[in-house]
Structure formats: structure tokens, C-alpha cells
Amino acid sequence: MRKLTMDELGRLPASHYQAQANPGLVLVLDNVRSMHNVGSAFRTADAFGVGKLYLTGITATPPHREIHKTALGAEQTVPWEHAADPAALLAQLKAQGFCPVALEQTTASQPLDQYRPQPGTKYALVFGNEAFGVSDAAIAHCQAAVEIPQFGTKHSFNISVSIGIVLWHFFLNQPISS
């Protein structure tokens, strides 16, 4: 066994990302504090071909050295937009036919492994602040909430880990269409 070379990996050039990205899957970061988490969101979004990343409220925006440190250039491939008000953005996305889904522990959330995304549905996946989670104002615009089952003493994952787990679930269930 040996590691594959960069040529053997066959990655798309950055200029081709937009042509293969999935416009039916977007991420919304609701007031995320850490620029490292923002950079990680870009990098994970790139890996899964997410159509767009929405950075809301206090969430930092590129260009910034701390975002670039973890994004490794993905902040230049994944389209992004800043919106001051997460709730207003989610209302807009709903009007555009997206189904907003919060990653949050709520009275109506269901375990991620039991959530089945529907084929042909466009999804806006909402991830919240590291300390306070998804805001109540944003949750009010979500059509569903999912949570990642956990078995230890902590009640949450780091947002960057959560994004990877949730996108992998969506990828495995292949529900997204353009």
C-alpha cells in the first residue's frame, strides 16, 4: 500500500467546481464565532460539492487569514454570501423552494440516522453558534430539525464535525437534485 499522488487523486481544478456543485444543497452558518470553523465549513462544503455557503450575522467572511488556514483555498471555490439576518435569509430560501433543516436539539428533532431526505427536494442545512446553537429566530423558519445521536457526556459536537457528519448522511442518501 502507498499513498496516492495528487495526479492519481484526479481532483477537479478549482475553475470546474461551480459546474459540478449541487445548487440544491446549501449551508447556512447562523452566527458562527470561530473563523477556523468557518474555514472548515468551506473545506467540507467543497468536498461534498455544496452549491453555496451562507454566512449570517456575526459569522466572519473571507478573505481572512484564519479562514484560509482551515479552508485551504475552498473559500475561493465555494460560492458564498453574507446575510445580516439569518431568519430573513431562511424566509428567502423557503420562498426559493428550499427546505430549511436545523441541526439542533429541539422538541421535534429526529435522530439524523432516521431522517430521510426526499429526492428532488432542495435543502438549506442550518448550523448554529458554537455556544448557543441555532437561534430561535432561525429555528422558526426551519421545516425540520435533526440531531446527531451521541453517547458520551457532552451534548454537542464541534460545528465543523457536525457539518461533515450531516453532509455525509445527505451524500449517502443521495436526495439532492439540481
Domain of 93, CATH number, reads 3.40.1280.10
- 9 belongs to a structural domain: no
What is the rounded CA–CA span in Å between residue 121 and residue 146? 16
pLDDT above 80 for 176:
no
Residue 134 lies in a domain: yes
1 is a domain residue? no
pLDDT at residue 175, as a whole number:
52
More confident of the two residues 155 and 88: 88
Query: pLDDT tens across 76-101, in order?
Result: 999 999 999 999 999 999 999 999 99
Q: How many domains does the chain have?
A: 1
Is residue 11 in some structural domain?
no
User: What range does the domain containing 44 cover?
Assistant: 18-148+159-173
152: amino acid identity, one letter: G
Domain annotation covers residue 8: no
Residue 6 lies in a domain: no
Residue 3 lies in a domain: no
Do the domain assignments include residue 130? yes
Q: Identify whether the C-beta of residue 73 lies closer than 8 Å to the C-beta of residue 67.
A: no
Residue 131: band (very low, low, confident or very high) from pLDDT cuts 50, 70, 90: very high
pLDDT at 51: 97
How many whole angstroms separate alpha carbon 141 and alpha carbon 121?
A: 16
Tens-place pLDDT, residues 71-82: 999 999 999 999
Query: Cα–Cα distance between 91 and 128 in angstroms, integer?
Result: 17
